Amino acid sequence: MKNLMILICSMLVISGCEKPLNEDEFLVENLMKRSGGLLEKVLNAKDKFELQVIYTQINRNEQNEPYFKSFSFNVDPERYFYSASTVKMPAAFLALEKLNVLHVEGLNKHTTFLTDSAYSGQSSVTEDTTSANRLPSVAHYIKKIFVVSDNDAYNRLYEFLGQEAINKSLHQKGFINTRLLHRLSIPLSQEQNQHTNPVRFYQSDSLIYSQELVKSSADHSLSRQILKGKAHMDNNDSLIQAPFDFSYKNFIPLGELQDMLKAVLFPGVSDKFKLTEADYSFLYQYMSQLPRETTYPDYSSNEYYDAYCKFLMYGDDKHIPEHIRIFNKIGQAYGYLIDNAYIVDLDKKVEFLLSAVIHVNDNETYNDGNYEYETIGLPFMKALGQAVYTYELTRKRSHQPDLSKFELSYDR
């Protein structure tokens, strides 16, 4: 009998008919174990890689209303990781919300948006040669944020919003552990990041809204000192044999990241942001649009491949199938890779939310550009997304989802 059972189990494995996974609190861990390879390797060293994963299933009723069931692995809202470019997502949402709340006639996401400078470290913007009319706007900045994760575009929205207003608004919405404290790719002091630029909005040649220099009066810095690693490179490219200080760096816990995404993709379930139907349609397009589908700017070079900003399921793949759409925001810096995604297969009617962070910095030196993104980070993200997607293909649903809301037109 024992030999017979071994034979039966062997035949099941060979035929691909493995024993179904239990949908309990260990589902994510068991999916990674079953996949083996790199997923199991990272799983077995989860603390070294600072791994966190949230997989959320979506089920629909007869009215197509979504219901969510989340499975987490190693998630801790207090554990710090550098959020990198994921901070651009709430900045985009809040910028659209602010335009709506201001309620100024003629002021919208397409209005010409000029930035002035009035404090140390600030710079001005009077044109944008990558836009169709060569003028900057909130809409064009948001497009660049989601399609290629443009840093300057985020900085301009940060300056429009103001540090204090950003954090106050997010905390009021329930994102209590989130901190957006600084611009990106510009080595400014805490005080410089507290000061945000004067801005002006024009309709044709007419000024319709202006905002003076703003200084944040609240202290939104993290409540504890966060030192990481053994060494770091300073702004002068000198190696400092001391941990890197993240105490005044941006932070969004993984759970809050996914909740922000969910709030915009499923506004009827979780109304957090004051957005219009036109805002939602705009966001859905550019959150899922690929660089090659974009006209302004023209991202036709080989540098901007399909998975340039789509880590989960595709890593650094050059091509993503047309029937797969990923609505997401990635982050990559200091050895951290993050992806916060809603993934749909329009052909097979599959949808799920998946958020993950992994840290690949084997030499424990920050800001030296020496990270294992290509050898571990991106392959891990690809394998994780594929493992969850494969599981979703076999998961039973009472009602097939109507995903027509996410069948969109793109620039080209």
Residue 26 has which token pair? 């260990």
* Dihedral sign for Cα atoms in the order 256, 261, 263, 269: negative
pLDDT in tens, 117-150: 999 999 999 999 999 999 999 999 999 999 999 9
Do residues 320 and 314 make contact, with C-beta atoms less than 8 angstroms apart? yes
**DSSP code string of 288-315:** H--GGG-TTTT--STTS-GGGG--TTTT
Asked if the model's pLDDT at residue 339 lies above 80, the reply is yes
16 sits in the region (left: phi over 0; alpha: psi -120 to 50; else beta) called left
Asked if the model's pLDDT at residue 39 lies above 90, the reply is yes
Asked if the model's pLDDT at residue 13 lies above 80, the reply is no
Segment 393-405 shows an average pLDDT of 95
Residue ranges of the alpha helices (H) in 249-358? 254-265, 277-288
Split at pLDDT 50, 70, 90, the class of 22 is confident
Residue 126's CB: how many other CB atoms inside 10 A?
11
Specify the DSSP element, H or E, that contains 11: helix 2-15
- Beta bridge partners of residue 336, listed in sequence order: 333, 359
Q: Of 296, 1, 24, 292, whose CA–CA distance to 141 is shortest? A: 296
Segment 251-264 shows an average pLDDT of 98
Please classify residue 314 by burial: count the beta carbons closer than 10 Å to its beta carbon, then call 0-12 exposed, 13-18 middle and 19+ buried: buried
Asked if the model's pLDDT at residue 361 lies above 60, the reply is yes
C-alpha–C-alpha distance, residues 320 and 150, integer Å: 21
Asked if the model's pLDDT at residue 12 lies above 70, the reply is no
Split at pLDDT 50, 70, 90, the class of 18 is low
Q: Tell me, what amino acid is at 262?
A: K
What is the pLDDT, as a whole number, of residue 244? 97
Asked if the model's pLDDT at residue 158 lies above 70, the reply is yes
What is the pLDDT, as a whole number, of residue 80? 96
What is the pLDDT, as a whole number, of residue 14? 35
Q: Of 256, 232, 264, whose CA–CA distance to 245 is shortest? A: 232
Split at pLDDT 50, 70, 90, the class of 3 is very low
C-alpha–C-alpha distance, residues 387 and 268, integer Å: 29
Asked if the model's pLDDT at residue 1 lies above 50, the reply is no
Do residues 159 and 133 make contact, with C-beta atoms less than 8 angstroms apart? no
What is the pLDDT, as a whole number, of residue 23? 80
Q: Of 173, 341, 340, 353, whose CA–CA distance to 271 is shortest? A: 173
Asked if the model's pLDDT at residue 5 lies above 80, the reply is no
Q: Of 77, 56, 91, 147, whose CA–CA distance to 330 is shortest? A: 147
Using only the alpha carbons of the chain, give its radius of gyration.
22
Q: Between β-strands 227-228 and 244-245, what pairing exists: parallel, antiparallel or unpaired?
A: antiparallel
What is the pLDDT, as a whole number, of residue 218? 82
Phi/psi at 394 (5° precision): -100, -5
CA of residue 338 relative to chain centroid, distance: 7
Segment 40-59 shows an average pLDDT of 98
Strand order in 239-240's β-sheet? 239-240, 231-233, 365-366
CA atoms within 13 Å, Cβ hemisphere of 247? 10
**DSSP code string of 366-402:** ESSS---IIIIIHHHHHHHHHHHHHHHHH---SS---
Q: What percent of the chain shows pLDDT beyond 70? A: 95
Show Cβ contacts of residue 200 under 8 Å, excluding neighbours closer than 6 positions.
113, 114, 116, 207, 209, 210, 211
SS3 content of the chain, % helix, strand, coil (to 5): 35, 20, 45
Q: Of 106, 87, 83, whose CA–CA distance to 95 is shortest? A: 87
What pTM was computed for the model? 0.94
Taking the domains of the chain in order of start, what are their residue ranges? 22-406
Domain boundaries 22-406, corresponding CATH code: 3.40.710.10
